[in-house]
Amino acid sequence: MELKIIPKQNANLIFDTKAIQLKHIEYYPSCDGVYEEKEITEAVISKILGQIPNGINVYLSLDPYGEDDWLEVISDGEWLALGYCFNGGCDIYYSYNADFAGTEELSPLESGGQSPIEKYLALKDIEAGRKAVEYFIQTGELYPGIAWAQQL
């Protein structure tokens, strides 16, 4: 897979912390829930953000049907991987960990519950990853406070 690395930026971020851009949430493989737009409240968002440090597998989508413009969030409490797919799957970004650049070593995480994730696409800084998820929920955009790898 060919990647373009987008480095972390140290910009001051100003955004509405009460905004919610999500239209669909779907946990997997557990049955913790599917949430449609009208069910996505600040309490649901708080629950998701609170689960990240302990482990979570969830798709957060800007599309009402959950089929496009989504962020996959995978955490086991030690590692966190983010995969952002939008524009009909034409644009794909992954969280990027420069500490493991050039290695094919696998993290313990699996995308979609089945595809192994390399360590260079998974973060050890759970808090930075949690902030990236929160930023996506509130703006629908990639968080500039972490590095991203764009699939070419």
* Inter-axis angle of helices 126-139 and 42-51, nearest 10: 160
What's the pLDDT band for 18 if we cut at 50, 70, 90? Answer: confident
Kindly indicate the confidence band of residue 31, based on its pLDDT and cuts at 50, 70 and 90. low
Query: For residue 81, what pLDDT is reported?
Result: 98
Task: Tell me how many helices (H) and strands (E) the chain has.
Answer: 2, 10
Work out the number of other CB atoms within 10 angstroms of the CB of residue 69: 21
Q: What is the mean pLDDT of residues 111-122?
A: 92
